[in-house]
Amino acid sequence: MKKEKKNNILLIDLNSDGMRLDNFLLKTLKGLPKARIYSMIRKGEVRINSKRAKPMTRLKTDDLIRIPPHLVPGNPKEKNPTKAMDLNWIDEIILHEEKGFLVVNKPSGLAVHGGSGVSFGLIELLRRHREKKYETLELVHRIDKETSGIILIAKKRSILRKLHQYFRDGLIKKKYQALLLGNSVEEDFVIDQPIRVDRSNKYRKSIIDPEGLKAITEFKMVKRFSHASLFEISPITGRTHQIRAHSAFINMPIAGDIRYGIKNDIIKKSFGLKRLFLHASEISFPQFEISNSNYHFRADLSEELKAVLLNINSLD
């Protein structure tokens, strides 16, 4: 979800694609009573692409949602918390820059955007650091706060829409590296299990549910260790916490995963791992003006994760 020029018009991104209108509003307008949200929808105060809608209407990427101006998330008068920060380190995590987009290697522990108790995230920091360039920086997609690695940032609205279309058409291929606890599975396999986001408590968590959204993940083993296995993972669909939920489903949660993992995490305990061992390592997609040619970008593992792999055999 991103703000358009009018700050009461919200643009639906890939992560909200398929979500019901009422659930989207409950998530976006935190603290607003359910009765008020349903009343706004019923009275036409909330509109999708300028048209009235029902609570169960499914949202699509690039839909424009109008909400009452006084309910816009955030306080426009709030001082910019990044103003006094030294943001020169951001230049070091930009892997590639072109006229229309950036490729950024996001560190673990940094959210991609502010909200839900986070004052600012990657996109806010980028906007602040590059404000003199007069760009229209927008997230093309998201990765979890706990996950490191490649994320695309559009510098133009036309490029944002083009990349969203690439995602819808399945033309953007992403690969992750993850260290999964255990080694009892075959080398290559596919998990095809639908996922539903459980919001029954304050810790949002994706669970396997036959009534959930279709979710497919490909796993390819890179190396098997005594207590864990390194995998190259390709998400075919892009659901919330998909890789983490599918890994937990086969009883091989990702090392360092507090939400989906186990208490007796030997990797976390032995190496003092303070982050999730999940890294968005590669992304590829067609070039915009050159046929039969793809962009391909890669981000190496952090030194902390490399150290785990270098010393993991010491656990034998």
* Residues that are catalytic: 144
Q: Strand, helix or coil at 306?
A: helix
> What are the two backbone dihedrals, phi and then psi, of residue 109, each rounded to the nearest 5 degrees?
95, -10
Please, are residues 280 and 150 in contact by the beta-carbon 8 Å criterion?
A: yes
Taking Cα atoms as reference points, which of 177, 119, 109 lies closest to residue 146? 109
Query: From the CB of residue 56, how many other CB atoms can be counted at a distance below 10 Å?
Result: 10
**Whole-Å CA distances, 4 to 123, 137, 153, 227:** 15, 12, 16, 48
Strand partners, 219: 189, 233
Q: How far is the C-alpha of 169 from the C-alpha of 153, rounded, in Å?
A: 19
Query: From the CB of residue 217, how many other CB atoms can be counted at a distance below 10 Å?
Result: 23
Taking Cα atoms as reference points, which of 311, 316, 300, 309 lies closest to residue 107? 300
Helix axes 34-43, 21-28, angle to 10 degrees: 130
Q: Which residues contact 253 (CB under 8 A, 6 or more apart)?
A: 180, 181, 244, 247, 260, 261, 262, 265
The single residue listed with the structure tokens 């992304």 is 283
Strand partners, 298: 282
The beta-strand segments (E) located in 92-145 are 94-97, 101-106, 138-139
Q: How far is the C-alpha of 152 from the C-alpha of 139, rounded, in Å?
A: 7
